[in-house]
Amino acid sequence: MEITTQQYKHCDLVWVSGRLDSATSPQLAAALQAITDTGRFKIVLDLSAVEFISSAGLRILIHAQKICKRYNRGQIILTNVPQNVYAALDLAGFTTLFKIMNDNLTAVGNI
């Protein structure tokens, strides 16, 4: 799994690629925590290159979303979600807990 982040003035854009399973999810958790630990809670997470997500990966997303949304200080927006990843989010009942958008520019502009 690879994680790349780009910092904008008001938000952070994060790209994740590869498998999000029990082995790799802690890496994503650490990357998101590195952002929220600096007091930044508006995150656009581009999932276009995620090949696989398990419940371990989903738990990381929900945990990070709770931290970002606390006190209305921000949120995580998911972008470019592949069909298989969307199916897992849907099965877990998570699609209502995230804004899901199809391009990063719109997400960065609206977060």
Partner 1 sequence: MRSCTFPGRYESLTKIASFIREAAREAGLDSFSIYTVETAVDEACTNIIEHSYQGENKGKIDLSCKIERSGLTIILRDDGIPFDPEQVPTPRLEGPLEERQGRGLGLYFMRELMDEVRFDFDEKTGNILTMVKYKEKHKG
Q: Does 5 bind partner 1 (CB under 8 A)?
A: no
Please enumerate in sequence order all residues whose Cβ is within 8 A of that of 100, keeping only pairs 6 or more positions apart, or say none: 77, 78, 79, 81, 86
- Token readout for 4 is 């790349």
Torsions phi, psi of 53, nearest 5? Answer: -135, 130
Q: How far is the CB of 2 from partner 1 (least distance, A)?
A: 14
How many CA atoms, within 13 angstroms, populate the side-chain half-sphere of residue 20?
25
Q: Does 3 bind partner 1 (CB under 8 A)?
A: no
Please enumerate in sequence order all residues whose Cβ is within 8 A of that of 21, keeping only pairs 6 or more positions apart, or say none: 52, 53, 54, 56, 57
Q: Does 21 bind partner 1 (CB under 8 A)?
A: yes
Residues 32-61 that bind partner 1 (CB under 8 A): 52, 54-56, 58-59
Q: Does 105 bind partner 1 (CB under 8 A)?
A: no
Nearer to partner 1, 5 or 92 (CB): 92
Binding residues vs partner 1 (CB under 8 A):
19, 21-23, 52, 54-56, 58-59, 62-63, 65-66, 69, 84, 87-88, 91-94, 97
